[in-house]
Chains A and B, each alone.
Chain A
Amino acid sequence: MLSDAILRWLHVLAGIMWIGLLYFFNFVNAAAVKEATAAGEAAPISKYVMPRALLFFRWGAVVTWIFGAALLGSMTAANGMNGFAAAFALQSNMAPIGIGAWLGTIMLVNVWTFIWRNQKKILGFVPATDEEKAKARRVAFLASRVNTMLSIPMLFFMVTGPHQSIYH
């Protein structure tokens, strides 16, 4: 159906925005900030790059989840259940994509709680002492690394969900 294809397309577009920025943070920015901090030149990254990157990152995560949920909801599982319910209940042929959906949901929660809440302290959007900022930096870093790790199986189940033959 055309509506399913459009939902899938929008889900993937937003997902590329989200996971692309996640990989930018982990594969490029973390090392760049470390070097720039040692050279006393990290301020422009914090001031000009991170707020914009985090804006598209956190809202990309929300949009990805919404279109993914809508796509699942438009499906019917082999056992007759609604696709969204079957996926999150890990039922029938929706179990593999359900694992991906659970991983994506955990990652979304991680973005809005551990990453964004701590980044607001690091970037000075909310007041924090130097000690609180140091702690926030560590928590945000590890949460981002957890999401990078989870993105690997999440993407596997996202792309293999429609290919049931590999699960038999």
Chain B
Amino acid sequence: MKNPLDSLWWTILLGVVLTGVLYYLAQMLVAQSAAT
């Protein structure tokens, strides 16, 4: 199977998806800090 990072468009898409996942994580971390 071809590595998705061989394609620039896949690289960008993976970056955008990772941004969404990490944004969700950041929201959880901030909420957790506010609650303690």
Chain A contacts to B: CB under 8 angstroms: 26-27, 78-79, 90-93, 95-96, 99, 142, 145-146, 148-153, 156-157, 164, 167-168
Contact = CB atoms under 8 A, between A and B. Distances in A.
Contacts of A27: 8
Contacts, number: 63
B33 A79 contact: yes
A133 B4 CA distance: 22
A151 B26 contact: no
Interface of B: 3, 5-6, 8, 11-12, 14-16, 18-19, 22-23, 25-27, 29-31, 33-34
Give the interface SS of chain B, mostly helix, strand, loop or mixed: helix
Contacts of B31: 168
Contacts of B12: 148-149, 152
Contacts of A99: 22, 25-26
Nearest to B23: A156
B1 to A, nearest CB: 14
Nearest to A31: B8
Contacts of B18: 149-150, 152-153
A92 B12 CA distance: 30
B11 A156 contact: no
A153 B30 contact: no
A26 B29 contact: no
Contacts of B8: 26-27, 148
A157 B26 contact: yes
